[in-house]
Amino acid sequence: MDDELRLPLLEQLLDEDPDSSVEAPLSSDATYTRAVESLKGDLLDLLNTRERCRSWPSELTELNNSILAYGISDVSGAHLASPSDRTKFLNALGPVIRRCDPRFASVRIVPDTERDASDRTLHFRIEAIVKFDGGEEEVAIPLKLEPVRRNFES
């Protein structure tokens, strides 16, 4: 396997210019940017999906590692008033990301504390080592949790 970063298969199959029969090759910077944007979209899909609210029977242990366990706990009741509450909430996201997306070799979530105290939006950055086809890359993805709808956004 070479060390050249390649886009995920779905990104390779998408045709941004259907009128052209030949695709121009992307530069390594453009490939990296598209790969990270694709990853960010998948990450937002994960964070905006709520896991099942009812548990299944304890003897069905494999379900914890299945698609049925995809998503995060409901955030509508999350207490995010204090810095310690926000840190606790953000720290709980890392294991879920690693469990639901095997491309993440490591995940570190860093709160953005440089915001105005009146801004109720929870800003943070996901710093990760991500396994792409062609190797591992360090990525930093800034995200936010919108306080009214409780949706994650970029």
pLDDT in tens, 84-133: 888 889 999 999 999 999 899 999 999 987 777 677 889 999 999 998 87
Tell whether the model's pLDDT for residue 4 goes beyond 70. Answer: no
Query: How far from 152 is each of 9, 30, 61, 95, CA to CA, in Å?
Result: 25, 25, 29, 17
- Give pLDDT, residue 44: 95
- CATH 1.10.1740.10 fits domain 26-153: no
- Give pLDDT, residue 2: 46
- Give pLDDT, residue 137: 87
> Which residues, other chains included, contact 126 with Cβ-Cβ below 8 Å and sequence gap of 6+?
43, 97, 107, 108, 109, 110, 139, 140, 141, 143
d(CA 59, CA 77): 29
Domain coordinates of the chain in residue numbers?
A: 26-153
- Give pLDDT, residue 48: 94
Task: Looking at mean pLDDT, say which of 7-11, 78-82, 96-100 comes out highest.
Answer: 96-100
pLDDT in tens, 11-42: 666 767 777 777 777 777 877 888 889 899 99
Q: Among positive and negative, which fits the CA dihedral 91, 129, 43, 147? A: positive
